[in-house]
Amino acid sequence: MSRLCEDRVVIVTGAGRGIGREYALMLSEHGAKVVVNDFGGARDGSGADTGPADEVVAEIKAAGGEAVANAADVSNFDEAETMIQQAVDTFGHLDVLVNNAGILRDRMLVNMDEAEWDAVIKVHLKGTFAPARHAAGYWRARSKAGETNNARIINTTSVSGIYGNAGQTNYGAAKMGIASFTIIAARELARYGVTVNAIAPAALTRLTEDLGMGGETEESKDAMSPRWIAPIVTWLASEESNDINGRVFEASGGVFAVAEGWHRGPEAKPVDDPTQIGEIARELVGQARLNAGMDGKDQDGGLG
């Protein structure tokens, strides 16, 4: 079997369980040296446990691969920097950062408290920014020193963010933010030999097991296995993907697709009289595509 990531050094955050674990295992199978990051918190982000990261490292080493555990809180700016440095100190360089760590604290907007909002935004959005910021600084320094990069940042967005899911204003806002972050960072970092893409995964894990995502039969459970998502991440992490930049891929056992971003829809001549806006706005909305539902297809989702 051809190994796509031979000697590539990869950090995977949130790699102790679920989707991240599948990423780490497949990347190692394809020759990558993996920093397995996991803070070890519960589904809602509470607590900490180094066990999950250590277990994945042991599994990789038992299969003949190279890996090291890391327990950094990726939303902590200084700890994120230490994580990047650990990869360089341990394996000599860094090629790929996979931002996967996340938590859920779902609540309808009228019931959501400040702590539930802040925790989810911090882990997902700042937990993407902080590692990416330090990895980007490392690659920029290499570029300015005359070194060549063929590097990757692979972020994790969600259909809950790019399409919108009731009960997840905090999670969805963070994930939409990550999609936008991905596009902008892709434009900024290309000059340093770095591509930035994102995955919108769908899988049955401890984060999603109570969200009604399927799994009633063995066939549906297999279709929602995280193993279906690891191949696109592994390919994006490889040197083969250097012509793909600033894209969002949906991935699951049922869907593999590119999600298309916002585009300007129907237009009208601007007016400065608010009494004329209603008729014009309704005409534009009537001509426009409906917002996508959670399946990515046109539907109003109950919106007027």
Q: Where are the domains of the chain?
A: 9-259, 265-304
According to DSSP, residue 153 is labeled E
User: 238-242 contacts: CB < 8 A, separation 24 or more?
Assistant: 238/4, 238/5, 238/8, 238/30, 239/8, 239/150, 240/4, 241/152, 241/195, 241/197, 242/150, 242/195
Of these residues, 138, 163, 171, 192, which one is catalytic? 171
What pLDDT does 215 receive? 53
- Let me know if 163 is a catalytic residue: no
**Burial bucket for residue 130 (CB in 10 Å: 0-12, 13-18, 19+):** buried
Q: Can you give the pTM of this predicted structure?
A: 0.90
pLDDT band of residue 211 (cuts 50, 70, 90) is: very low
The average confidence (pLDDT) of the chain is 91
Return all residues near 249 (Cβ < 8 A) that are at least 6 apart. Answer: 197, 198, 199, 200, 232, 236, 256, 257, 258, 259
Beta bridge partners of 196: 153
Q: What is the pLDDT of residues 11-40, one digit of tens each?
A: 999 999 999 999 999 999 999 999 999 987
Tell me which fold the domain 9-259 belongs to: Rossmann fold (3.40.50)
Q: Is the pLDDT of residue 42 over 60?
A: no
